[in-house]
Amino acid sequence: MTQGTSIVGNGTGIGKTPFQETMDQVFLMTMALLIQLMQCGFAFLEVGCVRSKNVSSILMKTVLDAFVAGVAYWTVGYAFAYGEGNEFIGWNHFATSDLPSNKFAYFFYEFVIASTASTIVSGAVAERCEMVAYLVYSFVITGFIYPIVSRWAWSPFGWLYIGQEYMIDNSTVTIKYHDFAGSGVVHAVGGTASFFGALILGPRLGRFHPDSKDPLPMRGHSLTFASLGILILFIGFLAFNGGSQMSVSNPGDGDIISLAAVNTVLSAATCAYLTLIIHKIGILGRSWNVMFVVNGSLSGMVAICTGCDLLRPWAAIIVGAVTAVSFNFTAWLMWRLKIDDPVDAIAVHFGGGVWGTLSIAFLDYENGILRNWNYKSGLILGWQLAGILSIIAWTGVLSSIMFGLLKITGFFRVPEEIERKGLDVPKYGGPAYPLDAYGHGHVEKIPTVLENGELSCFSLGYINDSMKGTSDTGPYECPEIKAMNNMPVSFIPDVQLIVTPPEDGCLNRKNGQINPGFVCAFERTAL
Amino acid sequence: MTQGTSIVGNGTGIGKTPFQETMDQVFLMTMALLIQLMQCGFAFLEVGCVRSKNVSSILMKTVLDAFVAGVAYWTVGYAFAYGEGNEFIGWNHFATSDLPSNKFAYFFYEFVIASTASTIVSGAVAERCEMVAYLVYSFVITGFIYPIVSRWAWSPFGWLYIGQEYMIDNSTVTIKYHDFAGSGVVHAVGGTASFFGALILGPRLGRFHPDSKDPLPMRGHSLTFASLGILILFIGFLAFNGGSQMSVSNPGDGDIISLAAVNTVLSAATCAYLTLIIHKIGILGRSWNVMFVVNGSLSGMVAICTGCDLLRPWAAIIVGAVTAVSFNFTAWLMWRLKIDDPVDAIAVHFGGGVWGTLSIAFLDYENGILRNWNYKSGLILGWQLAGILSIIAWTGVLSSIMFGLLKITGFFRVPEEIERKGLDVPKYGGPAYPLDAYGHGHVEKIPTVLENGELSCFSLGYINDSMKGTSDTGPYECPEIKAMNNMPVSFIPDVQLIVTPPEDGCLNRKNGQINPGFVCAFERTAL
Amino acid sequence: MTQGTSIVGNGTGIGKTPFQETMDQVFLMTMALLIQLMQCGFAFLEVGCVRSKNVSSILMKTVLDAFVAGVAYWTVGYAFAYGEGNEFIGWNHFATSDLPSNKFAYFFYEFVIASTASTIVSGAVAERCEMVAYLVYSFVITGFIYPIVSRWAWSPFGWLYIGQEYMIDNSTVTIKYHDFAGSGVVHAVGGTASFFGALILGPRLGRFHPDSKDPLPMRGHSLTFASLGILILFIGFLAFNGGSQMSVSNPGDGDIISLAAVNTVLSAATCAYLTLIIHKIGILGRSWNVMFVVNGSLSGMVAICTGCDLLRPWAAIIVGAVTAVSFNFTAWLMWRLKIDDPVDAIAVHFGGGVWGTLSIAFLDYENGILRNWNYKSGLILGWQLAGILSIIAWTGVLSSIMFGLLKITGFFRVPEEIERKGLDVPKYGGPAYPLDAYGHGHVEKIPTVLENGELSCFSLGYINDSMKGTSDTGPYECPEIKAMNNMPVSFIPDVQLIVTPPEDGCLNRKNGQINPGFVCAFERTAL
């Protein structure tokens, strides 16, 4: 976002034609719409990672998230981040008042990014957090904590953006914090807040053994949703990293946009593969599953954010490789510390973000420590360190206070019984998959091959109305079944039909064969 | 779409460079692709809102929708809407004949929008409508009903677009209908057709109590799909509202595109929050769930369509707030009128669309009644009223005739038995979630903590072939189970294994503990 | 992609302003991000088409696919395809070394397309393929097989791209292979590799009757995922076909981008409808379901890729109509040949791709055989035939060798027991839908109407902790149930509660009615 000056600091767009200015705006808007896919992606990911009893709760959170962020960022967040003010905070354009009309594209882009920071946290506190707590922390993060950090690093007024002048080899050089697409500004903020949220909230009931404190498996209800989430997130990340150039009217903009995307692919791929290998060979002693690879690729995308505009592709591969260590170590550490993070958000965003922020100090071609260990590269590392430590300290202190207050006032965690039974029914108006919405009135005939090679058929079906009309309490004759298989049928009226096959199997009247097995799980149809 | 003239009426693009004309086309195409996400979004939303027995039917409808719209709009719709003709209808460019090649982008954009109008209806008639009826009404709406409305309001030839000249303060002023992104043109059309569709079709069996006529709960099978749908729809709406500028080559285009998006976020957010509050405190006496918040945000997006290009952000918040009333009242009214709308499409699109169309007459900064109650603002209200009433009347009459004819000819509603049992098996080739596609051959060992604090394990699993090979009718010894827990096992051959624990619990051989509970729901694996 | 020269062959962009060059890059990047939606779409489609026991496996494959392609295409694929070299292969820019920074957008676009070719295959070999085989073939296809084909047809150095000069009517005319968006280059490659993959791998266990060899139904676990996949794929295809223009800076670029999209809609729609009719009237004797329509629309998109830039809309409709025959015949043929393709990838991509490649020779307005049967149109057909046959031969030979080697070395297919039980548990770390992640601790009260018209209620619920605390082995009194219905309850401690209603029904204490039916399927909640 270092090129953001052309938009933020220089609204007159000197030297640009009106058409070029419009195309800058259109680029920002198009990328913002694609970045908005990250909201879908995180929603899929988080939904898949919770148990079915808490699905409505996470859905409510993800649906409201963009709206909480919209209101918070509009009313105060943008003013704190990009309004006129000092190096630490801005204080005009509250509620977009007096914002020039050509800045709305920039505002919208920044809003979309701000909403990402708070979405990260909702995964870490899933399955036990009160909705009111969610609304509060989401507002505070997108309205205050995150905007201040982006003030420092991305606003042309910010102290990390301005940096400092040094005399190096008899010439004056400005060294400053560089974070192109927010490994530190977005992801370390989200990861730090996730850490303190999960820490203060405590683990889910049953996540760790009450005595031995060993972790017990607590898997999400749908790997499908979680994995599809990552595929959608991938597009959002590519748009985020390319879009961070924030301009298409300066020569070379296109080069950086595309370099950023290529680096993102390479870092994510490398981290995904290495995570796969780490877990397949069992280095960290945790059983593996697809979620590790999903999260590994995600952390590779997080880490490359800082340097995707300037690192060469081979360096992006190194970034991804180190991220595999950083991500998996952080995940392992959380597990050892008994911090329960249902979606591994801390490992992905903190583990990936912190390393990513530092990575350019080592891997930049011209000024990286790897190739040029000198005073200048040391200063760069110093500024990256100063930036990331300030971000962690700021976010950590404020989020600890916020989550601590929520805990003390009793608004943070749902009562134990509700957590145990699930949040959806008492808090969110019902389960995500209501039992009465399933089943149908037809008998499904499932072909099966008998041991003598004959093709037979068994049936699974449900009671339907025509059957109900002729039934009452007691043994029941199911015409559709009886026609095919001669067998006694016991019946729980109105609802459930249990077919017990005779000991010698059932006669299949269609082909005269004895069908050696049969089950008929009849369930009630919705009226 | 008021700027559409630059593309529709002025194909020569005077004053634009060829490159600028190309960028206009590329902008239209890019936004159209993102608007196409609304088809995905509506599909997710509608799928989630139906019961599992009708999922295949709604999927077929959503998959075919874009294609019905494509063919209908290509053959006749576009000609009626944008061909040369009079103020009410056009009549050339049927099947894109003689359409200049630089108008295809415009055609494609309009097609994508047209397909949205008919998609709205499929939700309102879900779970009981015949497929042939769907194909017919979808063709009629995208081929005729909607194109005529867009002729009036968006074609430079249309009577609502042309408006009328008035003498105000001694100067001639043209007042006309304004509907930037279609609260009236798209959503009120879809909402009105939905109303008459649902009214003439009648409620689903069992939706209302046969005697008391009280509504009975009839929830969709997956809140997850429905909620993910809204997140995808959100992106589509942002593209729709921004893309309605339809040009990037005029100075200021970028400003309006981004203002439209910001207003969309604020209106949707406000309406979602107020809907949440209305239902949490129970004003309308209906039990709440996540779907209300989902639909509330959607109706906020619908209502802001008309004025998102000119309202100031604070006005967008008011639009959203009033929409919360309008949407929830319409939903409540449908419920009182015994009109069964499985996805609340009428409340969202009619309730949101009608208010949205009128909103600018009150809330426009320069000419709104709220700030300037005078002759001019009265005329603006008059034109907005004339527009929305004409749209409702036109759509209402034609869709009543169409749905009435479908009903009379018996093509509208599936037979009662099929509705009761579900449409998927007899009409759509099978269930969406076939029972024989579920289950696997492995025993899942689920850890559990005993009351004495010991970690134990119980198993859920399925029969597999190797087990089947050694079994026959009668008591069965399941080796995997027996190895772990010593217990009697009764067995329904080939298919289902029911494990009954002894009264004193089962000995867990691994740790010598008595495991006080055990169930083993073995199901058949697919061959 | 015929206009690709302006980017590939002419990096200096003579005659273009730097801003125009940037906009070309931005267009490529934006379309590439939308094409990346095809990865999501294919993932949804393939996940829906497999059984639940193999869902984790297909998810792992789809998540890794973009990353395999990224690494393979970056290291070698791009060099083979677009590096300097001869007519058949290129050999510089390995690992993007020495690639000018303004070519990265082009590289990224090509990478996204390359990853599509290998994704196609993963559907055809689903449910039985080893992961290592997947990684190998995916790398080989995106790193070598596909790049060579794109070298021939899309690189300015390629023999199919260069074509040959002929004397026609005393003037020199260059005739060459035309394949705008890859019916041959992408889809025939994917389809051919799918064919040999599925052939060499053999059908899934139980797909065909062991004696009669008749196919047995083997449906996917979620039509919802599969259908939603097609809606996402549709957007990706539109971006692919429009984006293949690869430039926005030449006059007329916008016209071709939009014509391509319109043709894509018309071809897909026609093919979907005809497929619906073919299966509804049962021409091919296979039972129909929604998947045929989904795949029919997809094959219509595949076939139009070659000519979407030059065919007139009526010709696109003919392309779609013939594709319906080509797709359904290929599907029928695979079924007769006992080649098991779980997602019908061969029928879609080979059946659609081969016909699509040839279609322009017949249907081009100026030079198509349909309107002008002469020497020139014959030569065009000849070149299209030469192209598609070369592609099939190249892909067929190499993929046969590759899949053959994988088979011989035993890395291709999972062991029989694992296939039977499902790949997820032993190979991919667990099931996609773990049983212990489902259920909750609340009793769901489901209203039902009694035969006397009274509204009653039955309950489905799960054991919860408070109940567990008071229970032990033996009959159990469930307070929530007892309060409502007076009935005996038998209890399997800790886990499952089975409620057996008395013969005369249960007294509903709330309204004094006898509730004639009752079931209470209590399942264990996760701790």
pLDDT of res. A444: 52
The predicted structure's pLDDT at residue A487: 25
- Long-range residue pairs from B472-475, CB within 8 A, at least 24 positions apart, any chain: B473/A503, B473/A504, B473/A505, B473/A516, B474/A503
Q: Name every chain B residue with its beta carbon within 8 A of the beta carbon of C257.
A: 25-26, 29, 105
Among A19, A62, A101, beta carbon nearest to B259: A101
Please answer whether residues C305 and C179 qualify as being in contact, where contact means their C-beta atoms are separated by less than 8 angstroms.
yes
Q: Cβ of B458 under 8 Å from any chain C Cβ? A: yes
Measure CB to CB from residue B238 to each of A22, A25, A33 and give the nearest one. A33
Q: Which of B157, B161, B176, B138 is nearest to B79 (CA)?
A: B157
Helix axes A253-280, A223-243, angle to 10 degrees: 150
Looking at this protein, which amino acid is placed at residue C508?
N
Distance from C-alpha of B455 to C-alpha of B447, rounded to nearest angstrom: 7
Contact B492 A436 (CB under 8 A): no
CA-nearest residue to A52 within chain B is: B224
C447 interfaces chain B, CB cutoff of 8 Å: yes
Q: What is the pLDDT of residue C441?
A: 65
For residue A2, pLDDT over 90 is answered with no
Quote the percentage of chain B above a pLDDT of 70: 79
Mean per-residue pLDDT of chain A: 82
CB contact under 8 A, B206 and A108: no
Compare CB distances from B19 to C249, C259, C293 and report the shortest one's residue.
C249
CB count within 10 Å of CB A119 equals 27
> What is the C-alpha to C-alpha distance for residues B315 and A95, in angstroms, rounded to an integer?
12
Using a CB–CB cutoff of 8 Å, tell me whether C471 touches chain B.
no
- Show which subunits contact B, needing at least 3 CB pairs below 8 angstroms: A, C
Q: Is C40 on the interface with B (CB under 8 A)?
A: no
Q: Using 50, 70 and 90 to split pLDDT, how confident is the model at C440? A: low
CA C221 to chain centre: 16
pLDDT over threshold 80, residue B195: yes
pLDDT band at C288 (very low <50, low <70, confident <90, very high): low
Using the beta-carbon criterion (under 8 Å), do B211 and C495 form an inter-chain contact? Answer: no
Cβ atoms of A143 and A110 closer than 8 Å: no
Q: Is C524 near chain B, with CB under 8 Å?
A: yes
Mean pLDDT value across chain C: 82
Question: Nearest-CA distance from A322 to chain B in Å?
Answer: 34
Check CB contact of A212 with chain B, cutoff 8 Å: yes
pLDDT for the residue A212 = 72
Can you give the pLDDT at residue B510? 33
Q: Which residue from A202, A203, A198, A184 is spatially nearest to A393, judged by alpha carbons?
A: A184
Least confident of A309-318, A424-433, B71-80, C16-25: A424-433
Average pLDDT, chain B: 82
Q: For position A473, what pLDDT does the model report?
A: 27
More confident residue, A11 or A309: A309
Residue B480: burial class (beta carbons within 10 Å; 0-12, 13-18, 19+):
middle
The verdict on C266 touching B (C-beta cutoff 8 Å) is yes
**Range of lowest pLDDT (A326-340, B62-76, B153-167, C444-458):** C444-458
Helix (H) or strand (E) holding C164: strand C164-168
- Provide the chain A residues 144-163 that lie in CB contact (below 8 A) with chain B: none
Say if residue B5's pLDDT is above 70.
no
Asked if the Cβ–Cβ distance from C313 to B74 is below 8 Å, we say yes
What are C475's two structure tokens?
Answer: 């009959």
pLDDT band at A286 (very low <50, low <70, confident <90, very high): low
Assess C268–B contact: CB distance below 8 Å, yes or no: yes
The answer to whether the predicted template modeling score (pTM) of the entire model surpasses 0.80 is yes
Helix %, strand %, coil % of chain B (to 5): 60, 10, 35
> If phi over 0 gives left and psi between -120 and 50 gives alpha, with beta otherwise, what is residue B344?
left
B227 contact C CB<8A:
no
- Interface check for A232 against chain C (CB to CB < 8 A): the answer is yes
C218 touches chain B (CB under 8 A): yes
Tell me how far the alpha carbon of residue C226 is from its chain's centroid: 9
Q: Note whether C63 contacts B: Cβ–Cβ < 8 A.
A: no
Instruction: Give the dihedral sign, CA A269/A275/A276/A277.
Output: positive
Q: Which chains touch C (3 or more CB pairs under 8 A)?
A: A, B
Encode pLDDT of C136-163 as tens digits: 999 999 999 999 999 999 999 999 999 9
Of the candidates C173, C203, C246, C174, the residue with the CA atom closest to the CA atom of residue C24: C246
Q: How many CB atoms lie within 10 A of CB B416?
A: 11
Q: Is B53's CB within 8 Å of A527's CB?
A: no
Chain B partners within 8 Å of A210 (Cβ): 449, 453
- In B64-83, the residues whose Cβ lies within 8 Å of chain A are none
Q: What is the pLDDT of residue C48?
A: 95
Question: ipTM of the assembly?
Answer: 0.86
Q: How many CB pairs under 8 A join A and B?
A: 251
Q: Kindly report, residue by residue over A377-431, the tens digit of the pLDDT.
A: 999 999 999 999 999 999 999 999 999 999 999 999 999 888 987 898 888 888 8
| Res B278 pLDDT > 60 | yes
| Model pLDDT for residues B199-237, shown as the tens digit of each residue | 999 999 888 877 777 777 788 999 999 999 999 999 999
Q: Write down the pLDDT at residue A288.
A: 65
> What's the pLDDT at C284?
62
Taking CB atoms and an 8 Å cutoff, what residues of chain B touch A501? 492-493
Count of CB atoms situated within 10 Å of the CB of B409? 11
Report residue A61 as tokens: 């959170």
| Interface membership of A439 toward B (CB under 8 Å) | yes
B473: chain A residues, CB-CB within 8 Å: 503-505, 516
B111 touches chain C (CB under 8 A): yes
> How many residue pairs from chains B and C have C-beta atoms closer than 8 A?
251
When pLDDT is averaged across residues A79-105 and rounded to a whole number, the result is: 95
User: Cβ A63–B426 below 8 Å, yes or no?
Assistant: no
Determine the distance in angstroms separating the CA of A386 from the nearest CA of chain C, rounded to an integer: 31
Segment (H or E) for B466: helix B465-470
- For C222, which residue in chain A has the nearest alpha carbon? A224
Q: Do B238 and A516 touch (CB under 8 A)?
A: no
Cβ neighbours of C367 (radius 10 Å): 20
Say if C293 is an interface residue toward chain B (CB within 8 Å). yes
Backbone angles phi, psi at B269, to 5 degrees: -65, -50
Two tokens, residue A97: 């008042």
Give the per-residue pLDDT at B288. 65
Interface mutation vs chain A, best among C25, C36, C67, most A CBs within 10 Å? C67
Per-residue pLDDT of A216-227, as tens digits, reads 778 899 999 999
Q: Tens of pLDDT along C233-254? A: 999 999 999 999 999 999 999 9
pLDDT 10s digits, C5-23: 333 333 344 588 999 999 9
Cβ-defined contact of B465 to C417 (cutoff 8 Å):
yes
Shortest Cα–Cα distance, C526 to chain A (Å) = 8
Contact B3/A at CB under 8 A:
no
- Verify whether the Cβ–Cβ distance C434 to A221 is below 8 Å: yes
Distance of residue A302 Cα from the nearest chain B Cα, in angstroms: 22
Q: Which of C39, C460, C518 sits opposite A231 (nearest CB)?
A: C39
pLDDT above 80: residue B300: yes
| Least confident interval from A111-125, B175-189, C385-399 | A111-125
The residue of chain A with its CA nearest to that of C52 is A224
- pLDDT, tens digit (0-9, with 9 covering 90-100), for A298-312: 999 999 999 999 999
Task: Compute the nearest-CA separation of B372 from chain C (Å).
Answer: 44
Residue B486 CB neighbour total at 10 angstroms: 12
Asked whether the beta carbons of residue C74 and residue A313 sit closer than 8 angstroms, the reply is: yes
> For the ranges A315-319, B13-17, B441-445, which has the lowest average pLDDT?
B441-445
CB contact under 8 A, A74 and B313: yes
pLDDT at B450 over 60: no
Given a cut of 90, whether residue B9 has pLDDT beyond it is: no
| Contact across the interface for A101 and B252, Cβ inside 8 Å | yes
Q: Does A416 touch chain B (CB under 8 A)?
A: no
A59/B223 Cβ within 8 A:
yes
- Cβ–Cβ below 8 Å for C290 and B63: yes
